[in-house]
Amino acid sequence: MATLTIPSRFCGPPGSANGGWSAGALAALLSPRTAAEAVEAVEVRLRRPPPLERSMPVEERDGWTVATDEGEVVLQARPAATGPDPLAAVPLEEARAAEAAYAGHRAHPFPGCFSCGTGREPGDGLRIFPGPAGPGRVAATWTPGPDDATAPVAWAALDCAGAWAAGVDERPMVLGSMTARLWRLPEPGAPHVVVGAHRRTDGRRQHTATTLHVRDQLVGASEQVWFTVDPADFAGPAPG
């Protein structure tokens, strides 16, 4: 039986994993290719906060690949019926300028988040700081390090911009599902642009999309569903 263990480096909130990295790690078990070829879209649902440093058995159940902890389903993944629609790219300099207005610089619910946390050092966290880039849109730059050319890191890079586009600084939310497709892996040393967009609100659900580009090439795209929550109940894997 396969297992999935999430190292503590890839955390989101204290004590739980980054949702994007966790989803990408499980998705990679479905589509393990690492060559520069299109990998079909994978849908991942997060049922519980993914634990850190704990071996989770991975098995097949009713058409899903599931990771469990103490018998409870934490993550479940399957090939997506349709892939995400990529967002239009934002010019590199515009994305870089947007970072100065990143709401997380003022207050961040999870400063230790692997993807968007302001408390992570360069070379440790991704430090993706998406700021406003038009109505309902955010953008940021990211230059992958030498160890970042992996599917889980690409999913993590696609993760948190969706929450910031939906206003996670004003209405706390947790990641419920993420459907993503990678066309290639991140390119170490090359400046990438992450774009996020808020698409609609459906009750407690916030629907968002994110896209990752390098130069004029698509790296990956995702669509996400976030659930707004009471701050006192913050225990889930978001933003990230």
Concatenated DSSP letters of 33-59: --SSS----EEEEE-SPPPSS--EEEE
Q: What's residue 230's pLDDT?
A: 67
Q: What's residue 171's pLDDT?
A: 81
Which amino acid would we find at residue 139? Answer: A
Q: What's residue 15's pLDDT?
A: 84
Residue-wise pLDDT for 106-127, tens only, equals 988 889 999 999 999 999 999 9
Q: What's residue 233's pLDDT?
A: 58
200: which strand partners?
Answer: 207
Domain 2-233 homologous superfamily, CATH: Acyl-CoA thioesterase, double hotdog domain (2.40.160.210)
Q: What's residue 31's pLDDT?
A: 61
Q: List, for the chain, all residue ranges whose pLDDT scores fall below the cut of 70.
A: 31-39, 230-240
d(CA 27, CA 118): 27
Q: DSSP 3-state assignment of 104?
A: helix
Q: What's residue 240's pLDDT?
A: 55
Q: What's residue 94's pLDDT?
A: 98
SS3 letters across 55-70:
CEEEEEECCEEEEEEC
Domain ranges of the chain: 2-233
Q: What's residue 238's pLDDT?
A: 44
Residue-wise pLDDT for 123-139, tens only, equals 999 999 999 999 999 99
Q: What's residue 33's pLDDT?
A: 46
